[in-house]
């Protein structure tokens, strides 16, 4: 039974990241997917800000995660492929949170130490400076997951399904943290945080819950009490861009039935976390940020997995909300194309912590905090915000049923997407008019001006970020 700690309101905010692996943005009930029911994620979206144009600028596990934690692009931090290590000399988001007096904790999948092995041990100096760390490098078996870390370096098998048990560990850790933390503010006072200390005061926290589901293999828990309906493959409603080819639809139906079950289990655990925060009386001061590292094609355009520039691969859910009430929270939708490098600055901004100079992303915190909050006066200033997001697949990826090329792309705030392979223009879509990307205008002269505009944006991203990629000559004769 959780304790009710009756803590003071209006203290320094907490942040919790909750993200799955390979959860595409379209696979949510509030986004109109009739195959899945996600009431807890939907409620978070109703009571917060939805960034429905959010993208995974590097839709592959390690490159996204390196960009997420460092606030820098994969070619800037060196984590350009899966697997590859993120240098321990590169500061992560935990660094500024630690300096601001926060407790930092990480649970679950890491995949930033250069291995794909489930037996791989991650030493303490390579855990991103998180004060508490309990996780694993990589594991594609949700029923048999081993973790190691702050509670001992010997691997420990999780007692149940991965998402369920990692959520248990996070909740238990937060309970312990609130009960046993010291009555000191420490370095937080140097960052403008103040307030009378009392017996129940606690150190604010930044916590991460990173789970493997709904990544393949698409095996949800079998217990219906864990949030999963029994979805029959024959009931799957395909996206219009899944070709009517027998083997594609047969395989996709089976995969999607498991995929959606895993998403419903993730939604169930988000609900469990929300209830735990309420019972600990920290729901009104804790931001929940729900997202994913990239999407999953699962048959769309006859593709599987990630590392592709189509919508099912690059679009990710991104929601910022609170469980208890909506004071100081804006409610609605933001059309910004928030990218992987923007998540760390935005999270810091919600807590009033400046973005470190080494992070290159943009903070969208002003879109999340209401105008009467002390940190922001008036509506967000959008003049300095990026009008597009940079997309990358840096090494050539030799996987079946996925794109077998290196590529670069750009997606604009108003929905245009342009993608090139080396020296070759490849894709041009208007995703607002054509969300399933059925009409490729890249060689249609009618859209030449739009194509040149997008290529200029793409060249600007390549130049400004110090990337190396040769674009095609698209000038007309």
Contacts of 118 (CB under 8 A, 6+ apart): 136, 137, 138, 139, 140, 141, 146
Percentage of the chain surpassing pLDDT 90?
83
Residue 376 confidence (pLDDT): 53
Taking only Cα atoms into account, the Rg of the chain, rounded to an integer number of angstroms, comes to 22
Classify residue 326 as exposed, middle or buried by CB count within 10 Å of its CB (0-12, 13-18, 19+): middle
Residue 12 confidence (pLDDT): 87
Cβ distance 453 to 418 under 8 Å? no
Exposure letters 458-473 (e unless 16+ CB within 10 A, then b): beebbeebebebebee
Tokens of 429: 């879509």
pLDDT above 70 (res 182): no
Tokens of 299: 């048959």
Residue 372 confidence (pLDDT): 55
Residue 394 confidence (pLDDT): 97
Residue 391: strand, helix, or coil:
strand
Determine the average pLDDT of the residues in 285-309. Answer: 97
pLDDT above 50 (res 5): no
Determine the average pLDDT of the residues in 308-316. Answer: 98
Quick: pLDDT tens for 99-155: 999 999 999 999 999 999 999 999 999 999 999 999 999 999 999 999 999 998 899
More reliable by pLDDT, 187 or 15:
15
Nearest CA-CA partner of 448 in 415, 477, 471: 477
Determine the average pLDDT of the residues in 314-325. Answer: 91
Residue 153 confidence (pLDDT): 85
Question: Sign (positive/negative) of CA torsion 106, 309, 23, 291?
Answer: positive
Cβ distance 82 to 393 under 8 Å? no
Residue 328 confidence (pLDDT): 82
Mean pLDDT, the chain, integer = 91
Tokens of 43: 């409620």
Quick: pLDDT tens for 250-269: 999 999 999 999 999 999 99
**Residue 6: band (very low, low, confident or very high) from pLDDT cuts 50, 70, 90:** very low
Nearest CA-CA partner of 24 in 301, 280, 276: 301
Beta bridge partners of 418: 410, 428
Cβ distance 138 to 112 under 8 Å? no
Q: CA–CA separation, 209 vs 168, rounded Å?
A: 11
pLDDT above 70 (res 181): no
pLDDT above 80 (res 430): yes
**Residue 230: band (very low, low, confident or very high) from pLDDT cuts 50, 70, 90:** confident
CATH homologous superfamily of 14-367 equals Alkaline Phosphatase, subunit A (3.40.720.10)
Residue 179 confidence (pLDDT): 85
Contacts of 264 (CB under 8 A, 6+ apart): 36, 37, 38, 220, 227, 228, 229
Q: CA–CA separation, 343 vs 67, rounded Å?
A: 9
Half-sphere CA count of 250, side-chain side, radius 13 A: 3
Residue 349 confidence (pLDDT): 96
Quick: pLDDT tens for 358-415: 999 999 999 999 755 445 556 787 888 999 999 999 999 888 888 999 999 999 999 9
pLDDT above 80 (res 7): no
pLDDT above 70 (res 200): no
pTM equals 0.93
Quick: pLDDT tens for 32-56: 999 999 999 999 999 999 999 999 9
Q: Kindly report the number of other CB atoms within 10 A of residue 454's CB atom.
A: 25
Beta bridge partners of 419: 409, 427
β-strands 103-109, 48-50: how paired?
unpaired
pLDDT above 90 (res 456): yes
**Alpha helices, H only, 78-235:** 94-99, 162-180
Lowest mean pLDDT among 33-47, 223-237, 309-323: 223-237
Residue 371 confidence (pLDDT): 57
Lowest mean pLDDT among 10-19, 231-240, 376-385, 389-398: 376-385
> Where in the sequence of the chain do the CATH 3.40.720.10 domains occur?
14-367
pLDDT above 60 (res 234): yes
Contacts of 76 (CB under 8 A, 6+ apart): 360, 465, 466
Residue 4 confidence (pLDDT): 33
Q: CA–CA separation, 364 vs 162, rounded Å?
A: 31
């Amino acid at each position: 039974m959780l304790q009710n700690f009756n803590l003071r309101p209006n203290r320094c905010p907490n942040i919790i990241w909750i993200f799955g692996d390979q959860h595409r943005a379209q696979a949510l009930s509030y986004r109109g997917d009739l195959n899945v029911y996600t009431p807890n994620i939907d409620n978070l979206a109703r009571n917060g800000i939805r960034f429905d144009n959010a993208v995974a600028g590097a839709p592959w596990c390690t490159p996204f995660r390196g960009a997420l934690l460092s606030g820098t692009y994969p070619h800037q931090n060196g984590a350009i492929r899966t697997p590859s290590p993120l240098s321990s000399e590169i500061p992560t988001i935990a660094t500024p949170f630690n300096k601001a007096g926060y407790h930092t904790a990480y649970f679950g999948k890491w995949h930033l130490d250069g291995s794909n092995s489930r037996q791989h041990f991650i030493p303490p100096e390579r855990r991103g400076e998180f004060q508490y760390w309990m996780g694993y490098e990589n594991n594609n078996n949700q029923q048999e997951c081993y973790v190691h870390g702050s509670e001992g370096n010997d691997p420990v098998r999780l007692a149940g399904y991965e998402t369920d048990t990692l959520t248990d560990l996070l909740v238990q850790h937060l309970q312990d943290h609130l009960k046993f933390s010291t009555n000191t503010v420490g370095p937080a006072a140097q960052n403008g945080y103040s307030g009378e200390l009392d017996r129940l005061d606690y150190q604010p926290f930044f916590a991460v819950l990173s789970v493997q589901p709904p990544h393949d293999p698409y095996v949800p828990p079998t217990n219906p009490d864990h949030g999963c309906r029994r979805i029959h493959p024959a009931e799957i409603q395909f996206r219009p861009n899944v070709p009517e080819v027998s083997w594609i639809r047969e395989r996709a139906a089976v995969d999607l039935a498991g995929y959606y079950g895993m998403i419903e289990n993730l939604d169930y655990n988000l609900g469990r976390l929300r209830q735990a925060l309420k019972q600990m009386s920290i729901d009104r001061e804790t931001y929940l940020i729900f997202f994913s590292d990239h999407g999953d094609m699962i048959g769309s355009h006859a593709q599987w997995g990630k590392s592709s520039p189509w919508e099912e691969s690059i679009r990710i859910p991104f929601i910022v909300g609170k469980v208890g009430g909506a004071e100081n929270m804006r409610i609605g939708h933001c059309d910004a194309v928030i990218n992987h490098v923007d998540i760390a600055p935005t999270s810091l901004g919600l807590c009033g912590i400046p973005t470190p100079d080494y992070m290159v992303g943009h903070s969208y915190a002003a879109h999340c905090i209401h105008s009467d909050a002390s940190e922001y006066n008036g509506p967000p200033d959008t003049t300095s915000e990026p009008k597009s997001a940079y997309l990358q697949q840096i090494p050539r990826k030799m996987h079946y049923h996925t794109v077998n090329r290196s590529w670069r792309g750009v997606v604009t705030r108003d929905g245009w997407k342009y993608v090139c392979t080396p020296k070759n223009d490849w894709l041009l879509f208007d995703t607002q008019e054509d969300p399933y990307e059925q009409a490729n205008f890249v060689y249609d002269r009618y859209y030449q001006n739009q194509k040149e505009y997008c290529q200029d944006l793409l060249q600007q991203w390549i130049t400004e970020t110090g990337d190396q990629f040769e674009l095609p000559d698209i000038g007309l004769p």
